[in-house]
Amino acid sequence: MKQRYIALDALRGLTLALMIVVNTPGSWAHVYGPLLHADWMGWTFTDLVFPFFLFIVGASLYFSQKGMASLTRADQLRKIIRRSLLLIVLGVLLEYYPFIVSLHELRLPGVLQRIGLAFGVAALLVVFVPARFNLVCIGAILASYQVLLWLSHEPYSLEHNLVRQVDLWVFGESHLWAGKGLAFDPEGLLSTWPSVATVLAGFETARWLRSGRQLRYLQFGLWGAGGVVLLMTYALALPINKSLWTPGFVLLTAGLACWTLALMLLMEQWRLGAAIQRPLVSLGQNPLFIYVLSWLWVRSYQLFPTQEGTLYETLFGVFAHVLEPKAASLAFALCHLAVLWLIAAYLARRQIFIKL
């Protein structure tokens, strides 16, 4: 059983490491292609970061739910709602930091906001719906979302998709991300609904891991489940779009998450594999704290002016003097990862786990 917990921590650490590298390049103008999100349709390895996080949130939900079994339903609901709201509030505060943006222009959707909502809805389903209906819930969520997308005459266009229309109505244009040239948020309200299915997929995987089957069969099962889901995605030619969190994207990333978790379980049985996993486990034991720290850190030293522009740009310039631009940008991001890993390793060694 311990191996299965270590594998989840290692998967969480791997995902967090990729997130740090993706989010902290020296220059966004000089980034290797696989470390960029797909422009619209399709996917890159970078597009796996967020769904893997949500998949792991679902797996963690299973273990925390087992720990809450002795609580009354009312107490369980209070804990779920409290944690969900704290994540949402923390996400909004991070968007607001360093508190110099006008509230009229504050982006309201975001990564932690989506995690909070998806966790909350998934946890409520887990409390009120018997576990044997988890796969039915996943199917119903994806089918209902696909039908909603089809209500738009251009369901997969950037400008006319229903996700954008709902966000404009709920939040208004000034509170949405506009990185694609118009107000469209990749963490939109409507597209959070299918992300609940990603959380439930992680929950169901963890439930299967706790089923008591031998580890060898669990590995084969995870490889098989991942393969079936991937084949289904491509056989049905489902559109894959992270920004809209399409059902095809949910199935693709759930299948790849199963494969990656199976690989982590396999690595744990090899001496070399276990050694490789160890730093990932340290990083994965305080994911929320490291995520918040990386966000605050990068935003903070972008505030300090220097002759080159900002302290961030000055530090990147040190790398750019000795490496070609893309290599320098990646090296800069890897240095961020190294520093944050040292902090995570210290916390893990001291058995300090910071949670909401």
How many CB atoms are located within 10 Å of the residue 150 CB?
Answer: 10
SS (H, E, C) the chain: CHHHHHHHHHHHHHHHHHHHHHHCCCCCCCCCHHHCCCCCCECCHHHHHHHHHHHHHHHHHHHHHHHCCCCCHHHHHHHHHHHHHHHHHHHHHHHHCCCCCCHHHCCCCCHHHHHHHHHHHHHHHHHHCCHHHHHHHHHHHHHHHHHHHCCCCCCCCCCCCHHHHHHHHHCCHHHCCCCCCCCCCCCCCCCHHHHHHHHHHHHHHHHHHCCCCCHHHHHHHHHHHHHHHHHHHHHCCCCCECCCCCHHHHHHHHHHHHHHHHHHHHHCCCHHHHHHHHHHHHHHCCHHHHHHHHHHHHHHHCCCEECCEEHHHHHHHHHHCCCCHHHHHHHHHHHHHHHHHHHHHHHHHCCCCCCC
Contacts of 84 (CB under 8 A, 6+ apart): 116, 117, 119, 120, 123
- Has residue 231 got a pLDDT over 60? yes
Mean pLDDT of the residues in the chain? 89
Nearest-CA neighbor of 117 among 51, 200, 193?
193
In whole angstroms, give the CA distance from residue 24 to residue 333: 5
| pLDDT tens by residue, 273-321 | 778 888 999 999 999 999 999 999 888 888 888 877 888 888 888 998 9
- Dihedral sign, CA of 25, 28, 29, 31? positive
Could you report the per-residue pLDDT of 84-102, keeping only the tens digit for each?
A: 999 999 999 999 998 888 8
85 within a domain of the structure (yes/no): yes
Q: Other C-beta atoms within 10 Å of 306: how many?
A: 13
Residue 226 has pLDDT above 70, yes or no: no
Query: In the predicted model, what is the mean pLDDT of residues 36-56?
Result: 94
Report the pLDDT value the prediction gives residue 308, as an integer from 0 to 100. 74
pLDDT at 213: 62
Q: Does residue 101 fall inside a structural domain?
A: yes
Model-level pTM? 0.92
% of the chain with per-residue pLDDT over 70: 92
Would you state the pLDDT for residue 209? 77
Confidence class of residue 37 from pLDDT cuts 50, 70 and 90?
A: very high
| pLDDT greater than 90 at residue 201 | yes
| Average of per-residue pLDDT across 122-134 | 92
Residue 291 inside a domain? The answer is: yes
Predicted pLDDT of residue 1: 41
Confidence label for 104 from pLDDT (cuts 50, 70 and 90): very high
As a whole number, mean pLDDT of residues 117-140 equals: 93
169-184 tens-digit pLDDT: 999 999 999 988 899 9
**Percent above pLDDT 90 for the chain:** 62
Q: Check if the beta carbon of residue 174 is closer than 8 Å to that of residue 182.
A: no
Number of compact structural domains in the chain: 1
Query: Stretch 343-354: mean pLDDT, rounded?
Result: 92
User: Is pLDDT above 50 for 243?
Assistant: yes
Q: Domain containing 273: what range?
A: 2-349
pLDDT for position 205: 87
Interval 252-274: pLDDT, tens: 899 889 888 888 888 877 777 77
CA-nearest of 240, 103, 95, 237 to 172 is 103
Please tell me the predicted confidence (pLDDT) of residue 212. 62
The residues pairing with 58 across neighbouring beta strands, listed in sequence order, are none
Q: Is residue 241 part of a domain?
A: yes
Residue 48 confidence (pLDDT): 94
Residue 70 pLDDT greater than 60, yes or no: yes
Asked if residue 356 belongs to a domain, the reply is no
Is a pLDDT exceeding 50 seen at residue 199?
yes
In a domain, 355, yes or no: no
Q: Is residue 216 part of a domain?
A: yes
pLDDT for position 268: 76
Of the listed ranges 43-57, 160-174, 197-211, the one predicted with least confidence: 197-211
